[in-house]
């Protein structure tokens, strides 16, 4: 009885954590169908300005139509099988982008924490870099990549997609990691220094564990950004095989019924959920570091 109660207490917050997303999805679907019922097919306009969108099948299909379209034939495969295949390709690229962006972001944060002059000189440019439109950056990266050879092998189009998506990932990781590395209290750092611990040992034994609670939320943001980056890059570069390109294909087929297009959009959204869930597994593995420690201000 002494061990059952704590387990039950731990299971209750986890169940609530799953209940909230499911409830939010249910409310979204209900609101969707309410819009279909209450808004006319041609939408609502005031003068020449439309203030509510059209709700015809070509613009906003029923929820069940989006799910039933998964069984329709799309060439040799069904629509569901096509989306599953293309989503797998996009998920693989998003995982690579998340790993690459995390490595770059963590490395930048460590360097900026070690050298204050690097932080003062580099951090403003790291922030400004995120103002560059991704759709404008994608053709440039693809063009530069076409001139690169690695170990005698040409640059593949998927490599450009990974680099473009990692560009979105590294920013939240770098900022979150830097904040975490600077979070230990000054007294804790001085205590390690009094034990003859240098910068490297202080980093390993104090700063990195203290940075975990700040890094994990940044990784969740980075996971969502990785999926967005890959989908946008696939569309911008015209790379086939991924969910981004499939969205374009289905949008061209949606003149009479947009169910396929919405199914592809939902599949892309689910990729973000899958990747964020994988980050959640890492958070569970590092749960001993999930609570930030008390600090009296960041220090170098």
* CATH number of domain containing 257: 1.10.3720.10
Split into its structural domains, the chain has a count of: 2
What is the rounded distance in angstroms from the CA atom of residue 119 to the CA atom of residue 165? 24
Whether 49 is in a domain gets the answer: no
Whether 50 is in a domain gets the answer: no
- Looking at the structure, tell me whether residues 72 and 30 fall in a common domain: no
State the residue range of the domain holding 3: 1-40
* Residue 12: band (very low, low, confident or very high) from pLDDT cuts 50, 70, 90: low
Q: Judge whether residue 36 has pLDDT over 60.
A: yes
Whether 198 is in a domain gets the answer: yes
Q: Which residues are within 8 A (CB) of 37 and not within 5 positions of it... i.e. 6 or more apart?
A: none
- Looking at the structure, tell me whether residues 240 and 116 fall in a common domain: yes
Residue 289: what pLDDT?
Answer: 64
Whether 48 is in a domain gets the answer: no
Q: What is the pTM of this model?
A: 0.83
Residue 295 — left, alpha, or beta (φ > 0 → left; ψ -120 to 50 → alpha)? beta
- Looking at the structure, tell me whether residues 130 and 207 fall in a common domain: yes
Distance of CA 227 to the CA centre of its chain: 5
Whether 296 is in a domain gets the answer: no
- Looking at the structure, tell me whether residues 114 and 242 fall in a common domain: yes
Whether 254 is in a domain gets the answer: yes
- Looking at the structure, tell me whether residues 268 and 221 fall in a common domain: yes
- Looking at the structure, tell me whether residues 136 and 255 fall in a common domain: yes
Whether 173 is in a domain gets the answer: yes
- Looking at the structure, tell me whether residues 131 and 90 fall in a common domain: yes
Tell me the per-residue pLDDT of 190-243, one tens digit each, with 9 for 90 and over: 888 888 888 888 888 889 988 998 999 999 999 999 999 999 999 888 888 899
Residue 168: what pLDDT?
Answer: 92
- Looking at the structure, tell me whether residues 113 and 18 fall in a common domain: no
Q: Is 278 exposed, middle or buried (0-12, 13-18, 19+ CB in 10 A)?
A: middle
């Amino acid at each position: 009885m002494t061990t059952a109660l704590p387990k039950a207490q731990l299971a209750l917050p986890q169940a609530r954590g799953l209940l909230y997303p499911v409830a939010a999805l249910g409310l979204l679907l209900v609101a969707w169908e309410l819009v279909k019922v209450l808004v006319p097919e041609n939408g609502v306009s005031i003068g020449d300005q439309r203030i509510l969108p059209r709700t015809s099948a070509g613009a906003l299909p029923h929820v069940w139509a989006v799910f039933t379209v998964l069984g329709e034939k799309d060439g040799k495969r069904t629509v569901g099988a096509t989306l599953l295949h293309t989503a797998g390709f996009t998920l693989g690229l998003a995982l690579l982008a998340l790993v690459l962006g995390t490595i770059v972001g963590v490395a930048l944060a460590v360097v900026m924490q070690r050298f204050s002059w690097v932080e003062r000189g580099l951090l403003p440019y790291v922030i400004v870099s995120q103002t560059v439109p991704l759709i404008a950056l994608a053709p440039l990266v693809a063009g530069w990549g076409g001139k690169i050879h690695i170990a005698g092998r040409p640059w593949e189009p998927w490599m450009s997609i990974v680099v473009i998506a990692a560009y979105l990932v590294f920013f939240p990781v770098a900022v979150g990691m830097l904040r975490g590395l600077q979070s230990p209290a000054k007294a804790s750092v001085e205590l390690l220094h009094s034990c003859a611990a240098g910068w490297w040992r202080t980093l390993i034994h104090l700063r990195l564990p203290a940075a975990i609670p700040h890094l994990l939320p940044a990784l969740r943001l980075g996971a969502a950004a990785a999926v967005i980056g890959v989908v946008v890059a696939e569309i911008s570069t015209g790379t086939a095989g991924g969910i981004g390109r499939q969205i374009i294909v289905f949008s061209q087929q949606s003149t009479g019924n947009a169910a396929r297009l919405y199914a592809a959009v939902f599949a892309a959204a689910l990729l973000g959920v899958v990747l964020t869930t994988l980050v959640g597994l890492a958070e569970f593995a590092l749960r001993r570091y999930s609570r930030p420690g008390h600090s009296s201000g960041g220090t170098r």
